[in-house]
Amino acid sequence: MISSTCVLHQAGTTAEIFLLFIQGLIARLAITSPGVRRTFLWDNLRSHYSDAVAFAIYSAGHRIINRPAYYPQDGPIEYIFNRVEMGLRDRLYLIRHDDQLIWHTHDIISGIHAVEETFVHCGY
């Protein structure tokens, strides 16, 4: 299992690495919000399309929505990614190691509000 706060120092994401990440995320969700059904939304990255990943998500009671090919205007997550990227860019001079990157990323994400409304506005 890979922690959802783990930083890997290698290029690319394999289906195996993504599965370990998803398993860690599902375990964390089971603790922080037990019984809440979540929707996983992702693009067409090859590592997302693994039978093992789908099984892990569906067997935990969650669901998957696959986005069409990359089209950022219709993808609400692109707005969220942009806000995280902009926040990290503003703090770049403060980040010197992985722990600081993780802390600042969590701090930025915790300050993003209206995430659910963004998804609803985009039709999800």
Alpha helices in the chain (DSSP H): 15-32, 51-59, 76-90, 98-110, 115-121
pLDDT tens digit sequence for 48-71: 888 999 999 999 999 998 876 666
Contact in structure between 22 and 56 (CB atoms under 8 Å) = yes
pLDDT tens digit sequence for 3-35: 555 677 777 788 888 899 899 999 999 999 898
Cα(98)–Cα(34) distance, integer angstroms = 29
